[in-house]
């Protein structure tokens, strides 16, 4: 028995060198399984890892030319019972155990006789997986096999956790690169410069709260005297919102080329969003056409924050209120067209709720009243100064509180 222990200690030392040869988790699991089966003189084996979030054991098995993932709820079968209780199961006649699933033997024609199933624990004694080895060639697994596997587990757990950390680092790097690419693509959807509009000044910005956001705006001259403005806010954040923004942008531009009216354009975009997004996702959307000859604005507001017109004549505010639900909530939505004139010196401000719902350290919102105050404070100033005043007031209000939502502003001033 002493010689066997010495041999196994030597095997453990040699195994530790092999375990450190790769950080690829699939390769590592294959190496662990091979070392386990050879050192225990077993015919076959499986290494299950614990998925704590889903409360399942998972492993990969050969299927065709590749690997297929199999999953087992903790508590089910012999391996599941070991993961649940943390107790080793050593059976010389596995067929007599009611927990044994005989379907594999039935499908494969293979006969499972003996089985050693042991929890795989890390240095803190936490279960991270389960060894399952079957059919010891000597007729059954003994106490020496259990001792070896328990000692081997310490080395294995370190190697697995290193491989997982390495995999997580690679995944983080890949995700970061994807987010950077997505952010670059999204930035290309936002106009780098705004078109020159005779008799008007413009200013705009879009600040995402994350690497990529769900806000969008566009300014498109479509005829000699007609300029179309759009501003939108997609529910949710991150990549799903950015994908919907891309769809909206492409469809908005395509429909504009067909010269349809604003109401019909909103209706088509609504159906498109409804048919191509999850039920919980929608877009608040404001769309308007400016006639630079008659100085009339025609608009459709699909559940968006009410754009504000500050009249130079008396300092009053006019809200361009919603005439329909946000895009995507239901099909065949009807929208109404609103019209208003813009007078010399009037300032029209379009924005997303990332402006008015921005919060400070006291959990107070910026709200529409502070937006109106900023607009009044910049009365008579050029559009770029009006925009700068809003951004300055907002920044002073929130201080160091991180932005919880994207913030977009579009200013139009008649000179």
Q: What tens digit of pLDDT does each residue of 275-328 get?
A: 988 878 899 999 999 999 999 999 999 999 999 999 999 999 999 998 899 999
Averaged pLDDT for residues 166-194: 76
pLDDT at 4: 43
Helix (H, G, I), strand (E, B) or coil at 229: strand
Is residue 28 in a domain? yes
Q: Are residues 115 and 233 both part of a single domain?
A: no
Give phi and psi for 261, each to the nearest 5.
Answer: -75, 165
Reply yes or no on whether the pLDDT at 132 is more than 80. yes
Of 134, 126, 117, 115, nearest to 154 by C-alpha is 126
Residues 79 and 207 in one domain: no
| Structural domain count of the chain | 2
List helix spans (H) across 20-142: 25-39, 77-85, 103-108
CA angle (306 as vertex; 197, 253 as ends), nearest 5: 50
- List phi, psi (to 5°) of 411: -110, 135
Condensed to tens digits (0 to 9), the pLDDT of residues 136-176 reads 877 788 888 888 888 777 777 778 878 778 878 888 788 77
Q: 158 with 242, same domain?
A: no
3-state SS assignment for residue 81: helix
Q: Is 141 helix (H, G, I), strand (E, B) or coil?
A: coil
Residues 213, 309 within the same domain: yes
Flag whether 359 is in a domain.
yes
The count of other CB atoms within 10 Å of the CB of residue 379 is: 13
Taking CA atoms, 375 is separated from 308, 354, 411, in Å, by 10, 17, 10
Mean pLDDT of 373-387: 96
Q: Is the pLDDT at 18 greater than 80, yes or no? A: no
Same domain for 153 and 189, yes or no, is: no
* Residue 160 sits in the same domain as residue 187: no
Give the pLDDT of residue 2.
37
Residues listed for the chain: 415
Q: Is residue 175 part of a domain?
A: no
Residue 151's CATH number: 3.30.450.40
- With CA atoms as reference, report the closest residue to 186 among 162, 213, 161, 168: 213
Is 290 part of a structural domain of the chain? yes
The CB-side HSE value for 108 (13 A sphere, CA atoms) comes to 9
Tokens read off for 178: 């994807």
Asked if 270 and 229 sit in the same domain, the reply is: yes
In a domain, 203, yes or no: yes
Query: Is 198 in the same domain as 140?
Result: no
Mean pLDDT of the chain: 86
* 259 and 404 housed in the same domain: yes
pLDDT at 413 over 80: yes
pLDDT exceeds 70 at position 16: no
Inter-residue contact 358 to 405 (CB < 8 Å): yes
Tokens 């813009």, residue? 342
Residue 171 included in any domain:
no
306 lies in a domain?
Answer: yes
Residue 238 lies in a domain: yes
Could you tell me if 224 and 322 lie in one domain? yes
3 band by pLDDT with thresholds 50, 70 and 90 = very low
The predicted-structure confidence for 197-253, as pLDDT tens digits, reads as follows 999 999 999 887 765 667 889 999 998 899 999 999 988 766 777 778 888 888 998
Residue 66 pLDDT exceeds 70: no
C-alpha 51/C-alpha 31 separation (Å) is 21
Q: Are both 224 and 303 inside the same structural domain? A: yes
Q: How many CB atoms lie within 10 A of CB 43?
A: 15
Lowest mean pLDDT segment, chosen from 2-16, 19-33, 96-110, 243-257: 2-16
Q: Give the Cβ contact number of residue 218 at 10 Å.
A: 21
Contact criterion met (CB below 8 Å) for 306 and 354? no
Q: Where in the sequence is the domain holding 63, given as residue range(s)?
A: 2-165
């Amino acid at each position: 028995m002493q010689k066997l222990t010495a041999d196994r200690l030597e095997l453990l030392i040699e195994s530790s060198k092999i375990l450190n040869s790769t950080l690829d988790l699939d390769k590592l699991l294959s190496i662990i399984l091979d070392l386990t089966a050879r050192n225990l003189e077993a015919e076959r084996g499986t290494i299950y890892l614990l998925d704590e979030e889903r409360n399942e054991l998972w492993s990969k098995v050969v299927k065709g030319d590749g690997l297929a993932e199999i999953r087992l709820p903790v508590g089910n079968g012999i391996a599941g019972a070991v993961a649940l209780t943390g107790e080793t199961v050593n059976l010389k006649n596995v067929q007599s155990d009611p927990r044994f699933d005989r379907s594999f033997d039935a499908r494969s024609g293979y006969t499972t006789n003996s089985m050693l199933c042991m929890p795989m624990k890390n240095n803190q004694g936490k279960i991270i997986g389960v060894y399952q080895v079957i059919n010891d060639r000597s007729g059954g697994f003994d106490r020496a096999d259990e001792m070896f596997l328990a000692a081997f587990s310490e080395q294995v757990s370190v190697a697995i956790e290193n491989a997982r950390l390495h995999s997580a680092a690679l995944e983080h790097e890949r995700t970061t690169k994807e987010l950077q690419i997505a952010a670059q693509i999204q930035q290309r959807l936002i106009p780098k410069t705004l078109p020159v509009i005779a008799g008007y000044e413009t200013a705009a910005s879009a600040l995402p709260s994350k690497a990529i956001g769900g806000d969008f705006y566009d300014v498109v001259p479509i005829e000699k005297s007609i300029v179309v403005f759009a501003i939108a806010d997609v529910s949710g954040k991150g990549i799903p919102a950015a994908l919907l923004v891309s769809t909206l942008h492409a469809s908005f531009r395509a429909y504009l080329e067909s010269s349809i009216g604003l109401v019909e354009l909103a209706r088509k975009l609504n159906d498109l969003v409804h048919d191509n997004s999850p039920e919980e996702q929608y877009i608040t959307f404001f769309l308007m056409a400016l006639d630079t000859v008659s100085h009339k604005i025609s608009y459709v507001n699909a559940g968006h924050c009410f754009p504000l017109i500050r009249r130079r004549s008396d300092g009053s505010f006019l809200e361009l209120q919603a005439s329909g639900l946000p895009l995507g909530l239901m099909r065949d939505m009807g929208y109404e067209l609103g019209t208003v004139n813009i007078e010399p010196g009037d300032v029209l401000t379009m924005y997303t709720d990332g402006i008015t719902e921005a919060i400070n350290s006291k959990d107070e919102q910026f709200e529409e009243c502070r937006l109106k105050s900023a607009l009044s404070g910049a009365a008579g100033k050029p559009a770029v100064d009006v925009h700068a005043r809003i951004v300055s007031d907002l920044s002073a209000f929130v201080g160091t509180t991180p932005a919880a939502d994207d913030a977009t502003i579009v200013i139009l001033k008649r000179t």
